[in-house]
A and B are shown apart, each in its own frame.
Chain A
Amino acid sequence: MTFRQFALNNVLRNKRLYVAYFLSSMFAVMVFFTFSIFAFHPAFQTGDMPSSAMKGMLVSGGIIYVFSFFFVLYSMSSFLQSRKKEFGLLMLLGMSSRQIRRMTFLENMLIGFLATISGIGIGLVFAKVILLIAEKVLVIDETLNFYFPLEAIGLSFISFILLFFVISIFVTFILRTNKLVDLIKSDKKSKGEPKASIILTIIAVLLLAAGYGTALYVEGIQVVMALIPVVIVVTIGTYLFFTQLSVYLIRRLKKNEHIFWKKTNMLLFSDLSFRMKDNARTFFLVAIISTVAFSAIGTLFGFHSYLMKGLKDANPYSVVYESVEDEDVQKQISAIDQIIADENVTANKEVVEMNYFEIGIDYPVLIVKESDYNRFAKLLNEKEIKLKNKAVVVSDNQANIGNFQNEQKLMEIGIPLKSGEKVQAYSEVSTSVLQEMNAYYIVRDEVFKQLPSAVKQTTFAAWMTKQADEEQLVAIGEKVFDHFDEYHNAFSMDYTIYEIDKAYGPILFIGLFIGIVFFVSAGSFLYFRLYSDLDDDKEKFQAIAKLGLTNNELKKVINRQTAILFFAPIIVALIHGAVALTALMHLFDYNLVKESAMVLGGFALIQIAYFFIVRYFYTKQIQQAIK
């Protein structure tokens, strides 16, 4: 047996020990590879893609790579921790520390190589699925066909072999050769129960309270300024929360014998308190990573819906046209009629003369006949207006950007008639029936006749299609867009939204992708944490089972233990995420409750499913051990 064979056999004959480390490495490779399949897809290489999206992908690829580095490093070091005793034994047999380093280096390279190959292999299997999803999320004209991603394979292979090489070297350095006796006894010696400092506990509470308070209190542009300090404060607060506050709380619980000595609580809490030192670090990591994922996806999703909702509400018509000066209005309107007819779509249409009058403020104000207004309201299926008096003031309820619509002024001034009399508006109404930026009046038809001559006149026309599908609407929109290429004074909202989606799609996709990657890795951190305690747990439950522990009691303890592990960090992350999204709501002054609930709820559901799966296997393993 040569030294190399020894290292090789160490890995191959000890599969169970290495499997967690191997799987996490493979997972990292797979993620990176799927991403590069997507990024190197020929459809994006044609130059059709906006350069900002390409740059975004490059940056995201970098982020995933850096993240993989730390992910693998973390898995690797926790893996080596569990092998201390083995190293101790080898040193006892006379292995020099240089040889141990060489051994771990060889082992690592072997695992890294296998992980890279199988990560790419599995990535290839899922490639089609990923491309299909990408196609759905991204609004692109070409379909993303499956292709054999030579470039992606090359890039992933080289990057990860390099990554494992660097980490292998790195690890041989951090693998400090402790005293032999410590290594040999590493599984016997207790790590000691962590202690909490009262001062740090209080600081944790204060930091979190301050961070949350600020995030919830600030509004508008202040949110941006408060962002960095709040993130720092909350991050430190979270760290202290897990390392101090939680330890403090568990110790308090343990002191209370009425709780601690109650049935299986003793088994649960004693382990919890001892593992808290290791758990705290994992919890912190998972909480922060998940928060980033929640916030990123929530922001993207919320921003998207913010953008879309505003547009759709402000422009309820299928196509609108507003004349510009010196234009053959009739010709343009019939051109649009023709475009709609060409797509085999029928549409209702209303046309109105928009008359603007001088009433003594700095711009001409639109005054509309009640009957004209109601024709458009009917077209939209909106409530028609029945004037109780001579006039009302109307403001567009969607174009409400700032407060420069002057409804107030219009209420006060009133409308001067030819006769010199003045008609006062009696009420304010808010609709988006007519596409007018400024506030305007609706007057009774007989009042309109008494108005002086208008200073400006335009024609406004709107179409509402009947039973047209998305594709036809977009096609109409595109043609309208092309026809009015000079002034763009006619447009279709569906086409505009399509265009925005097309530009926004890659960002959304990348955001989602990275968010999910972060979230899934957070889940695997928890999984490794749980499984690194498996042997301890087996031993413990074996001991108790001999004394007599029913299956239900066993399940109860494992259930709670796993639940705490899986949900403690996620609940913290969900609260963090909810606070972050609330702050975002304040920034945009837009209600994101539905979107936030969907994103956070979705993640919570995934986590619950994950919990059930892991608990099932863990319980099974323990049950087998004590049989």
Chain B
Amino acid sequence: MLQVNDLNKVYEGKVAYRALTDINMEVGKGEFVGIMGPSGSGKTTLLNLVATIDQPTSGEILIEGKDPHQLSKNKLAKFRRQQLGFVFQDFNLLHTLTVEENIVLPLTLDGKKVKEMKEKANVIAEKLGISHIMKKRTFEISGGQAQRVAVARAMIHQPKLLLADEPTGNLDSKSSRDVMEMLENINETEETTMLLVTHDAQAASYCDRVIFIRDGQLYSEIHRGESQKGFFQKIIDTLSLLGGNDNDFSSIRS
């Protein structure tokens, strides 16, 4: 599904900064993969490259065998809109639109029929338990609800790949759990491939597999066994091996 080959990213500037070095990885269809690492390790850079928001310096990224970075700017925008779904730490909802309007925005830009959009929005809202707030405005809902709306927006066009950048970063522990359970659920029922960047070991423990990055290079990867509890413990252990400050990885955020 997703293949990353010899990926390098160098930020040019007065002092060039090497953010990623020779990253190789592969994500299978329907897999739920977490990316973890200390601050500044390059995990968000990696996600942005996969998301086609940023351009790699060298190497290639193949989504279903095709390299989206070869597309023209306009086609790339359409590609993102139709093939990818995004969830951000700060939700990225438009505050001038209602919840419902935010959810259908990707379809609207594609010029879909109103009836179709309504149906899809209702189905996904039902699934994510946000039907009752559809007419509300974004500042009238809580953070957990806002992130669910963002997930609904990311999922409405049934993307092949869902990319989440610290989706629980702005949420309390209860909301975090809700959102992660929801993502896990979607991953299972819809078989959507997911890539999750997070600091939060609790959130990462919902993944099938977690890849660790350190100083822009792959460090290790661990697979989830039968129990989520055991997986969580394994993640914590790896993180402590990885170094960095303990408070980088507080499992419960306030």
Contacts and interface: CB of A to CB of B under 8 A. Distances in A.
Nearest to A189: B139
Nearest to A264: B109
A608 interface: no
A263 interface: yes
Nearest to A271: B96
* Chain B CB within 10 Å, residue with most, of A271, A547, A549: A547
Contacts of B84: 548
A274 interface: yes
Nearest to B106: A547
Interface string A533-548: 0000000100111111
A261 B104 contact: yes
Given A546-B86, A547-B80, A262 B111 contact: yes
Contact of A544 (B79, B94, B114): B94
B117 interface: yes
B74 A547 contact: no
Given A540-B94, A543-B92, A550-B77, A262 B108 contact: yes
Interface residues of A, number: 28
A257 B114 contact: yes
A551 B77 CA distance: 8
Interface of B is mostly: helix
A261 B114 contact: yes
B139 A550 contact: no
A270 B101 contact: yes
Contacts of A267: 94
Chain B interface category by residue count: 20 to 34
B221 to A, nearest CB: 27
Nearest to A258: B114
A552 interface: yes
A270 B81 contact: no
A182 interface: no
B97 interface: yes
A553 interface: yes
B114 A546 contact: no
Contact of B74 (A270, A274, A551): A551
22 contacts: A190-B139, A257-B114, A257-B118, A261-B104, A261-B114, A263-B109, A264-B109, A265-B108, A266-B108, A274-B96, A540-B96, A543-B93, A543-B94, A545-B77, A546-B51, A547-B92, A547-B105, A547-B153, A549-B77, A549-B81, A553-B77, A553-B109
Interface of B: 51, 53, 73-74, 76-82, 84, 86, 88, 92-97, 101, 104-106, 108-111, 114, 117-118, 137, 139, 153
Given A263-B109, A271-B96, A553-B109, 16 more contacts: A188-B139, A261-B108, A261-B114, A262-B108, A262-B111, A543-B94, A545-B77, A546-B80, A546-B88, A547-B86, A547-B105, A548-B109, A550-B74, A550-B77, A551-B74, A552-B74
Interface of A: 188-190, 257-258, 261-267, 270-271, 273-274, 540, 543-553
Q: Top 9 nearest A-B pairs by Cβ distance?
A: A548-B81, A548-B80, A270-B96, A550-B77, A550-B74, A543-B92, A548-B77, A257-B114, A274-B96
